[in-house]
Amino acid sequence: MSTPFRTGTGTAVVLAALALCATSAATQAPSAPARGPDGHPKLDGIWQAFNTANWDIQDHSQSPGPTAAGALLAAPGGFGVVEGNEIPYQPWAAAKKKEHFSRRWTDDPEIKCYLPGVPRATYMPYPFQIVQGTSKIMLLYAFAAGVRTINMDKVPPSPVDTWMGHSMGRWEGDALVVDVRSQNDQTWFDRAGNFHSDALHDVERYTLIVPSHMNYEATIEDPKVFTRPWKISMPLYRNIDKRAQLVNYKCVEFSEEILYGHLRKKPNP
């Protein structure tokens, strides 16, 4: 006579088998990233950050937006991306940041569809695309149809400050390192009012972890505003949908009223 099946024993066997499979999968090496003709990892593709840094790069609780907008413009809570969660403002700059926060619904450059600058363009809630060459790497941003060139070859410094700055790149092993200077002082780091001056200097690092995941770091230096350099970091994710393509968000037409509405001619009474 056969021995009856006992549920407890069977469950234990199944759990043990699942654990063995999980351990085996965890020990398998991740697939190696594709490499270009120059031997460096290929970063081409559409990438996006999935965090709440665009609302506030530091740890933050949820907070309301303008009353008339209800939940639409309320800020979700989230963890920050600042190393140590501290931004080393000079005293006057800390006071100015608070002033910016109080006027964020009218003064944030994002509201006006201005180009977001570096590093904010990386973690806005919109995708961006990397097109990689050997002497130039193009970054195409959905927001405001922004375009940025990373120069891997020698070019002269920028003669003027611009919204997205002047980017010089190099490879350090498998990490793409980008030195960004010559940004104007009109962009913010987030909707919370964190800001910089025209002395901003960013050093970015793009490091592929596996083909669909990248680590992004930016070391920020601005002696006019901060007492020391500080760093942000976050993962970026490649869109693997075969249909994925960058769809530009040309928001200028939506900002015309807030920028130029006061100039509109009003009919005589």
> What is 125-189 written as a DSSP string?
SS-EEEEE-SSEEEEEESBTT-EEEEE-S--PPPSS-BSS-EEEEEEETTEEEEEEE-B-S--BS
The tens digit of pLDDT for each residue in 113-128 reads 999 999 999 999 999 9
Provide the token pair at 217. Answer: 């770091």
Given a contact cutoff of 8 angstroms between Cβ atoms, the answer to whether 58 and 79 are in contact is: no
For the ranges 87-91, 104-108, 126-130, 255-259, the lowest mean pLDDT is seen at 255-259
**pTM reported for the whole predicted model:** 0.85
Which pLDDT belongs to residue 12?
53
Q: Which amino acid is at 199?
A: A
In which band, very low, low, confident or very high, does the pLDDT at 11 lie, cut at 50, 70 and 90?
Answer: low
Q: Kindly provide the residue ranges of all beta strands, DSSP E only, lying in 9-124, ordered along the sequence.
A: 45-48
The Cβ of residue 258 has, within 10 Å, a number of other Cβ atoms equal to 12
The tens digit of pLDDT for each residue in 208-244 reads 999 999 999 999 999 999 999 999 999 999 999 999 9
Whether residue 76 has a cis bond before it, omega within 30° of 0: no
Rounded CA separation 179/134 (Å)? 17
The Cβ of residue 154 has, within 10 Å, a number of other Cβ atoms equal to 7
- Give a three-class secondary structure readout of 209-242: EECCEEEEEEEEECCCCECCCEEEEEEEEECCCC
Given a contact cutoff of 8 angstroms between Cβ atoms, the answer to whether 110 and 251 are in contact is: no
Instruction: Pick the closest to residue 54 from 136, 129, 116 (CA basis).
Output: 116
- Domain map of the chain by residue range? 45-58+78-263
Average pLDDT over residues 185-190: 98
Given a contact cutoff of 8 angstroms between Cβ atoms, the answer to whether 119 and 251 are in contact is: no
The tens digit of pLDDT for each residue in 19-58 reads 554 544 444 445 677 898 889 999 999 999 999 999 999 9
The tens digit of pLDDT for each residue in 132-184 reads 999 999 999 999 999 999 999 999 999 999 999 999 999 999 999 999 999 99
* CA-CA-CA-CA torsion sign (18, 24, 27, 33): negative
Identify which has the larger pLDDT, 207 or 4.
Answer: 207
Given a contact cutoff of 8 angstroms between Cβ atoms, the answer to whether 85 and 58 are in contact is: yes
What burial letters (b/e) apply to 15-30, b meaning 16+ CB within 10 Å? eeeeeeeeeeeeeeee
Residue indicated by tokens 């654990």: 19
Rounded CA separation 190/123 (Å)? 9
